[in-house]
Amino acid sequence: MIGSELRAELSDLLGKAVRFDVALARLTSLRVGGPVDAVASPANRADLCATLRRLARARVPHHVIGGGFNSLALDAPVAGVVIQLSRWRRLEERPGHTLRVEAGVSHSQLARFCCDRGFAGLEFGAGIPGTIGGWIAMNAGIPGREVGDRVVEIEVAGPSGARISHLPRAVLQFGYRSLRGLAPGSVILSALLRIDRGTPAAVRAEVDELLARREKTQPLSVPSCGSVFKNPPGDYAGRLIEAAGLKGHRVGGAQISPLHANFIANLGGATASDVMELIRLAKERVRAHSGTRLECEVRIVGGAA
């Protein structure tokens, strides 16, 4: 619990841009999760850094959540403050065939921008939910293409709010669904992304094809957190889970999707405990059936899986 003094200071600093005792189920795509002490949505860099400095002085942890995809919030209360940059939605063309994209820009906003102008190279992101900040943090992508391949530099606030840095691609450690090397608690503010010149028709055709493929193969009509597990080298987590006999398996209100076994859906009334039990079961059954150890892709807010 954060104390009354810190609550007052955050209110003075951020006004209506801070809310207290918020259910994380309202902030995550899976629609599960208990309360967090506060949610801060600073409007600019000065407010963000001031918030981070104040939290660091008080030794209060913060958690960065973008669109709430690829995140599973646990049922128990989460101590600290959630930082959201949902108001950071500036998107503009820059010299040298690049785009400056702020962390709160959504996949749909970016796709529309690129389709309208014929900017190619980022089509693979069509249908990947969430915001650019989350994409960069997890190096989102599809087989053969990842957002890290398109990054020229990123803008990052340090965990204590002491400074903002622009880090070039050469110093960034992108891996499969990961970005290593940033100090824990760092906040990605924006990215400079490399684009190619195409035509609006060609870009839109590829985007439409990818969206149609996702609609056929993923449970988009029910709340989920996206892919739960990373694909093991040379294989697919969904295939392994299906082979272990768990496709369609249900615990409480949560179900391993009958459409894609690497998705867990909230059929209504699911709890984080239901989801965590399915994660545990999938790991156990796949390990017993194939000898493969599944690794979570979804980020656990309030714990680890």
Q: What was the pLDDT predicted at 66?
A: 87
- For residue 92, the cross-strand partners are 100
Mind listing the pLDDT tens digit for each residue in 121-178? 999 888 788 899 999 999 999 888 999 999 999 999 999 999 999 999 999 999 999 9
State the DSSP code for 7.
H
Domain 4-83 CATH class label: alpha beta
- Per annotation, catalytic residue among 29, 227, 242, 299: 227
At 200, the amino acid letter reads: P
Query: Widest CA span of the chain, in angstroms?
Result: 56
Q: What was the pLDDT predicted at 107?
A: 87
Is 297 a known active-site residue?
A: yes
Instruction: Say how far apart CA 185 and CA 165 lie, in whole Å.
Output: 14
Q: What was the pLDDT predicted at 87?
A: 92
Residue given tokens 């059929």 in the structure block: 267
State the DSSP code for 298.
S
Contact (CB, 8 A) for 126 and 152: no
Nearest to 132 by CA among 165, 116, 112, 154: 154
- The vertex-267 CA angle with 282 and 223, nearest 5°, equals 85
* 219-301: CATH number: 3.90.78.10
Q: What was the pLDDT predicted at 128?
A: 84
Q: What was the pLDDT predicted at 304?
A: 58
Mind listing the pLDDT tens digit for each residue in 91-127? 999 999 999 999 999 988 999 999 999 999 999 888 7
- For residue 214, the cross-strand partners are none
Q: What was the pLDDT predicted at 11?
A: 97
- Per annotation, catalytic residue among 31, 150, 177, 285: 177
Is 177 a known active-site residue?
A: yes
Instruction: Say how far apart CA 267 and CA 265 lie, in whole Å.
Output: 6
- The vertex-126 CA angle with 192 and 94, nearest 5°, equals 25
Q: How does the average pLDDT of the chain come out, rounded?
A: 95
- For residue 64, the cross-strand partners are 83
**Low-confidence residues in the chain, pLDDT < 50:** none
In angstroms, what CA-CA distances link 51 with 27, 87, 158, 164, 246? 20, 16, 12, 14, 44
Joined together, the tokens standing for residue 286 give 């796949």
CATH number for the 91-214 domain, one of 3.30.465.10, 3.40.50.12780, 3.40.50.300, 3.40.50.150?
Answer: 3.30.465.10
- For residue 168, the cross-strand partners are 153
Domain layout of the chain by residue ranges: 4-83, 91-214, 219-301
Helix (H) or strand (E) holding 265: strand 263-266
Helix 107-117, helix 200-217: angle, nearest 10:
150
Q: What was the pLDDT predicted at 143?
A: 86
